[in-house]
């Protein structure tokens, strides 16, 4: 239920609260979006062609075409932004959305809100504009009782000083939160607050930092719910961006309790594109090793690194190359991914350009801009807001993101929808031929509908069971492989420890890198995914052959060029859990307490084995259970959806042979067989002409279409979300 004021909350909405400023859309804000414009045009052309099918094929065809059109409209590529606290990540997100003051950048050390900006999303009239979800009881208890992930690490590693600090900070946070929210605090956990409006005051209470309030009963206090808010979903217009896009702003990964690391890991699962935001003044320092571990598990082709805050460099024109070399060296030295796309820029400059207030730049930033402009602009040229926008790096960032959508997830979506549309057209042509023959009183021999239904059920059961059987040994082999890798790692680490003790005694601290384990697990995971994809392709191909054979047995006529196209194998989520920090990643000072408590080599060995086994168990569990379960779900769903869709098309063809001749006349809106065939030829050309595009879809207007009749919008249609 969506309410302007949640009935179960302790807050109330100030009617005079200032609404969010509308998106700023100067002409230069579209710089860098040319590739995304081309992709959006391809999607629009695809939708137009699907509308042709919808208006041409009768009510059943219309339903299937509407399903495909909905898939076009609901495609919303997601970009997850990750980085350290104070890297300027949130300011960058604001600039990308065209709203310089949208998200508050001043969060307190324990605020862990993932904010998803759904730009240009199609939504129903009564859908929420803002949705805020709170931590549930289990998540809150894990934080306040155990000190969260950092508490676990501190306890296992013997870092007593760190554990005391964590517990003190948690106790302070807990008391302030309870004082702020009162008796309803426990009831709020696990709830979601939905709003049909969005304003600055609302953002302040759910996302922004809370102060130490003098009056705990203040109902409109800033940060009232920020401590317990887990995620925020905001639905806004962004006129400069040509299509729906989700930009997910995650909390910085270097937080006090490592809750943010876990939240960022979960956010990365749901995105194909990741933007890593670094600060030019401290790009990839030792504190960024957690970032390197995270992105090492994502395909480097889907990662963009944005080095922010070049406005704080005195000489960016010369320093950028030095920083780039330093970043690449750090990545290489620490087994980071290679071939990353680096973009340098300034979110501060971008936001000032959008507001066209570049004359108000702070002095140091203005001097930095003037220095950079000498290298980028012609001598003596006046610096305009458009120039500042270009030098801010936002166009280059948009271009990199657009390219990844265009040749990656977006290309896959267009290919999949084209195949589904072609399959639908084949069925539609078969239905058309049946209609024509029935009207002309030609004799038809069709498979009995009951026999067809039974056959389709058997095809589904047989193929689903076959795929399940094919996946089972793959998953079992994968599980055994990573268990063996884990065991070998523990044995090697234990041997290294014993050798250290024999050589140096117990007076010198010892460290052992877990990167070898991560590499083995990552390799095993990718191998399993490749085999799973191959098994899925084989299962889809066999199902397509059975369906094609069923078409031939169903019809007493031959449809020219008929075939059933199997979809591609699905994409699988990256093993981001491998990036989780474990005790071996921490500095040697963390191990001091653990080291001092051991007496005798055997005590060291046994305790170490138990420590690392416990530390790595959550990662192994995630990769063996969470990831495998999700991969199985995705793979089985791909086959089942294909079978159900094709079964529906076959059933529709069969139904055309059962209804009366009177009902058949005019069923397609065009009675002449020649005219219907001409339209089919046009539609097949539209969906098949540029199906194979290795470098991504190109906008193609296609051949001229027959005029489509105007249809009224249904009451359940989607409407563009309005900017709050």
- In tens, the pLDDT along 258-283 reads 556 777 777 787 788 999 999 998 87
Q: Which of 505, 536, 557, 526 is nearest to 643 (CA)?
A: 536
Q: Where does the pLDDT of residue 500 fall: very low under 50, low under 70, confident under 90, or very high at 90 and above? A: confident
pLDDT value of residue 108: 52
pLDDT value of residue 152: 59
Q: Where does the pLDDT of residue 559 fall: very low under 50, low under 70, confident under 90, or very high at 90 and above? A: low
Q: Which secondary-structure segment (H or E) carries 137?
A: helix 137-146
**Is residue 701's pLDDT more than 50?**
no
Q: Where does the pLDDT of residue 204 fall: very low under 50, low under 70, confident under 90, or very high at 90 and above? A: confident
Q: Which two tokens stand for residue 524?
A: 């095993």
**Is residue 600's pLDDT more than 80?**
no
pLDDT value of residue 237: 93
Q: Where does the pLDDT of residue 83 fall: very low under 50, low under 70, confident under 90, or very high at 90 and above? A: confident
- In tens, the pLDDT along 170-197 reads 667 677 777 778 777 778 888 999 998 8
CA dist 496 and 362 (Å) reads 54
| Torsion (CA) 686, 690, 696, 697 in degrees, nearest 10 | -20
Percent of the chain having pLDDT more than 90? 37
The most confident of the ranges 113-127, 224-238, 353-367 is 353-367
pLDDT value of residue 121: 92
CA dist 535 and 555 (Å) reads 31
pLDDT value of residue 657: 67
CA dist 702 and 681 (Å) reads 12
The most confident of the ranges 114-118, 211-215, 705-709 is 114-118
The most confident of the ranges 98-102, 303-307, 501-505 is 303-307
**Is residue 289's pLDDT more than 80?**
no
- Contact present, 466 and 577 (Cβ < 8 Å): no
Q: Where does the pLDDT of residue 293 fall: very low under 50, low under 70, confident under 90, or very high at 90 and above? A: confident
For the entire predicted model, the pTM comes to: 0.82
**Is residue 707's pLDDT more than 80?**
no
How deeply is 235 buried, as exposed, middle or buried, from its count of CB atoms within 10 A (0-12, 13-18, 19+)? buried
**Is residue 343's pLDDT more than 80?**
yes
Bridge partner list, 308: 279
pLDDT value of residue 484: 93
Q: Where does the pLDDT of residue 601 fall: very low under 50, low under 70, confident under 90, or very high at 90 and above? A: low
- In tens, the pLDDT along 141-155 reads 766 655 455 555 555
**Is residue 517's pLDDT more than 50?**
yes
- Contact present, 249 and 103 (Cβ < 8 Å): yes
pLDDT value of residue 692: 42
Q: What is the mean pLDDT of the chain?
A: 79
How deeply is 129 buried, as exposed, middle or buried, from its count of CB atoms within 10 A (0-12, 13-18, 19+)? buried
- Contact present, 298 and 576 (Cβ < 8 Å): yes
Q: Where does the pLDDT of residue 705 fall: very low under 50, low under 70, confident under 90, or very high at 90 and above? A: very low
pLDDT value of residue 308: 95
pLDDT value of residue 719: 32
CA dist 483 and 612 (Å) reads 14
pLDDT value of residue 11: 38
* Phi, psi at 303, each rounded to 5°: -115, 135
Q: Which two tokens stand for residue 546?
A: 């059975």
Helices (H), 569-600: 592-597
The residue written with tokens 């309030």 in the block is 213
**Is residue 307's pLDDT more than 60?**
yes
């Amino acid at each position: 239920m969506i309410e302007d004021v949640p009935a179960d909350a302790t807050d109330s909405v100030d009617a005079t609260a200032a609404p969010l400023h509308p998106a700023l859309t100067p002409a230069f804000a579209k710089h860098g979006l040319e590739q995304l414009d081309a992709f959006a045009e391809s999607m629009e052309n695809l939708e137009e062609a699907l509308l042709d099918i919808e208006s041409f094929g009768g009510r059943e065809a219309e339903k299937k075409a509407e399903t495909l059109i909905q898939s076009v409209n609901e495609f919303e590529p997601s970009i997850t932004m990750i980085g350290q606290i104070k890297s300027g990540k949130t300011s960058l997100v604001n600039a990308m959305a065209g709203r310089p003051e949208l998200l508050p950048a001043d969060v307190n050390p324990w605020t862990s809100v993932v904010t998803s900006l759904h730009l240009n999303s199609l939504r129903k009239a009564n859908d929420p504009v803002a949705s805020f979800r709170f931590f549930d009881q289990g998540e809150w208890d894990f934080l306040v009782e155990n000190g969260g992930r950092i508490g676990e690490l501190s306890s296992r590693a013997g870092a007593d000083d760190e554990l005391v600090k964590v517990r003190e900070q948690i106790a302070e946070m807990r008391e302030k939160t309870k004082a702020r929210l009162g008796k309803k605090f426990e009831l709020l956990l696990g709830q979601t607050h939905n709003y049909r409006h969005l304003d600055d005051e609302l953002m302040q209470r759910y996302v922004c930092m809370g102060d130490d309030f003098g009056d705990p009963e203040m109902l409109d206090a800033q940060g009232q719910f920020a401590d317990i808010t887990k995620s925020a979903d905001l639905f806004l217009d962004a006129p400069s961006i040509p299509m729906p896009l989700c930009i997910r702003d995650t909390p910085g990964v270097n937080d006090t309790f490592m809750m943010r690391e876990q939240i960022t890991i979960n956010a990365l699962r749901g995105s194909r594109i990741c933007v890593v935001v670094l600060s030019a003044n401290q790009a990839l320092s030792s504190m960024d090793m957690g970032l390197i571990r995270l992105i090492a598990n994502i395909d480097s082709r889907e990662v963009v690194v944005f080095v922010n805050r070049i406005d704080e460099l005195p000489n960016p024109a010369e320093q950028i190359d030095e920083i780039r070399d330093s970043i690449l060296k750090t990545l290489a030295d620490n087994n980071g991914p290679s071939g990353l796309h680096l973009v340098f820029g300034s979110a501060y400059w971008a936001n000032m350009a959008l507001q066209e207030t570049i004359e108000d730049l702070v002095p140091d930033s203005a001097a930095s801009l003037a220095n950079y402009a000498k290298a980028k602009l012609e001598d003596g040229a006046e610096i305009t807001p458009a120039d500042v926008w270009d030098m801010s790096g936002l166009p280059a960032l948009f271009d990199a993101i657009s390219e990844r959508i265009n040749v990656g997830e977006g290309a896959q979506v267009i290919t999949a929808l084209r195949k589904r549309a072609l399959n639908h057209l084949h069925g539609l042509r078969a239905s058309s031929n049946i209609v024509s023959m029935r009207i002309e009183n030609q004799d038809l021999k069709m498979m009995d509908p009951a026999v067809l239904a039974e056959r389709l059920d058997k095809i589904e059961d047989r193929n689903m069971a076959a795929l399940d059987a094919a996946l089972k040994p793959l998953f079992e082999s994968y599980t055994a492989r990573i268990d063996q890798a884990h065991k070998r790692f523990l044995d090697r680490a234990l041997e290294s420890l014993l050798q250290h003790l024999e050589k140096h005694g117990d007076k010198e601290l010892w460290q052992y890198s877990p990167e070898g384990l991560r590499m083995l697990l990552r390799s095993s995971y990718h191998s399993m995914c490749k085999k799973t994809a191959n098994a899925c392709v084989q299962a889809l191909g066999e199902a397509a052959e059975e369906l094609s054979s069923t078409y031939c047995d169903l019809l007493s006529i031959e449809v020219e060029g008929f075939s059933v196209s199997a979809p591609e194998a699905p994409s699988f989520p990256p093993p981001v859990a491998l990036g989780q920090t474990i005790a071996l990643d921490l500095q040697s000072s963390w191990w001091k307490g653990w080291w001092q408590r051991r007496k005798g080599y055997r005590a060291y060995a046994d305790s170490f084995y138990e420590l690392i086994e416990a530390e790595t168990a959550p990662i192994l569990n995630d990769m063996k259970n969470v990831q495998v379960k999700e991969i199985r779900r995705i793979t089985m769903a791909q086959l089942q959806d294909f079978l159900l869709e094709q079964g529906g098309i076959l059933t529709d063809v069969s139904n055309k042979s059962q209804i009366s001749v009177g009902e058949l006349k005019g069923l397609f809106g065009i009675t002449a067989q020649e005219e219907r065939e001409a339209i089919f030829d046009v539609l097949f050309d539209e969906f098949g002409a540029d199906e194979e595009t290795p470098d991504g879809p190109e906008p193609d207007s296609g051949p001229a279409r027959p005029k489509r009749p105007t249809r009224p919008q249904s009451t359940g249609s989607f409407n563009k979300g309005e900017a709050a």
